[in-house]
Amino acid sequence: MIQFKPTRNIDLIEAVGNHPDIIAGSNNGDGYDYKPDCRYFEVNVHGQFGGIVYYQEIQPLTFDCHAMYLPEVRGFSKEIGLAFWRYILTNTTVQCVTSFAARKFRHGQIYCA
């Protein structure tokens, strides 16, 4: 089971974002700083903390989504991503979601409804 818990725990968010495995898999290789205009969620996979997912409203009703998964749950990244989209679609008014992936997919995708 995948669960999302809203969080504003800056220390936790920055600790995950600055974890060496997160930095190694990022597009820019830099550390992460908390952004107050983002909405953050703790990810739990089968009861285990797995990282942080977050979104930012970049245009009205258009959300830019990102994830910082710890190595222990990366095998569930597709399931987490789909569950997070369901969460967003259920709990927000949305027209577009942009998604940028590091490593394998180094290109952006935009999905509009």
Rounded CA separation 17/20 (Å): 9
Kind plus residue range of the DSSP H or E element containing 57: strand 48-59
pLDDT the model gives residue 48: 95
User: Architecture of domain 2-112 in CATH?
Assistant: 3-Layer(aba) Sandwich (3.40)
The pTM score is: 0.81
Rounded CA separation 22/25 (Å): 5
pLDDT the model gives residue 78: 83
CA-CA-CA-CA torsion sign (33, 39, 40, 45)? negative
pLDDT the model gives residue 28: 60
pLDDT the model gives residue 77: 85
Q: Where are the domains of the chain?
A: 2-112
pLDDT the model gives residue 94: 75
List per-block mean pLDDT (blocks of 10 residues) for the chain, which spans 113 residues.
96 91 67 92 95 88 84 87 86 72 46 50
Beta bridge partners of 29: none
